[in-house]
Amino acid sequence: MENTFLEQVKKGDRFEFGANWKSFLDSINEHRINNAVESLDAMLGEKNYTGLTFLDIGSGSGLFSLAARKLGFKVYSFDFDKQSVACTKKLKELYFKEDNNWIIEEGSALDVEYIRNLGTFDVVYSWGVLHHTGQMWKALDNADLPVKENGKLFIAIYNDQHLKSKIWLTVKQIYNANMIGRLLVKSFFISFFTLGYFIRDITRLKNPLSRYREYKQQRGMALYTDLIDWIGGLPFEVASPAAIFNFYTEKNYILQKLVTTNHYGCNQFVFKKNFLNSKHTLQ
Ligand SMILES: C[S@@+](CC[C@H](N)C(=O)[O-])C[C@H]1O[C@@H](n2cnc3c(N)ncnc32)[C@H](O)[C@@H]1O
Residue 102 CB neighbour total at 10 angstroms: 24
Domain boundaries, given as residue ranges, for the chain: 5-160+237-273, 163-232
Name the CATH superfamily housing domain 5-160+237-273.
Vaccinia Virus protein VP39 (3.40.50.150)
Task: Evaluate: CB of 244 within 6 angstroms of ligand 1.
Answer: no
Angle 4-104-130 from CA coordinates, rounded to 5°: 50
Contact indicator for 92, 104 with CB cutoff of 8 Å: yes
**CA dihedral angle for residue 259, residue 126, residue 23, residue 198, rounded to 10 degrees:** -10
Task: Evaluate: CB of 142 within 6 angstroms of ligand 1.
Answer: no
Cα of 180 from ligand 1 centre, angstroms = 25
From the alpha carbon of 18, which atom of ligand 1 is closest?
A: 27
What is the structure's pLDDT at 3?
A: 66
Phi, then psi, of 253 in degrees rounded to 5: -95, 155
Phi, then psi, of 190 in degrees rounded to 5: -65, -40
CA distance 136 to 259: 20
What is the structure's pLDDT at 216?
A: 79
What is the structure's pLDDT at 99?
A: 97
Identify the residue whose C-alpha is closest to ligand 1 atom 13: 58
What is the structure's pLDDT at 280?
A: 53
Cα of 78 from ligand 1 centre, angstroms = 9
| DSSP-assigned states of every residue in 79-124 | ESSHHHHHHHHHHHHHHSTT-TTEEEEE--TT-HHHHHHH--EEEE
Of 61, 81, 104, 127, the one to substitute when testing ligand 1's pocket (max ligand atoms within 8 A of C-beta) is 81
Helix (H, G, I), strand (E, B) or coil at 260: coil
Contact indicator for 115, 109 with CB cutoff of 8 Å: yes
CA distance 151 to 119: 13
What is the structure's pLDDT at 278?
A: 47
Contact indicator for 136, 237 with CB cutoff of 8 Å: yes
pLDDT under 70: residue ranges of the chain: 1-3, 275-283
Structural element, H or E, at residue 141: helix 136-144
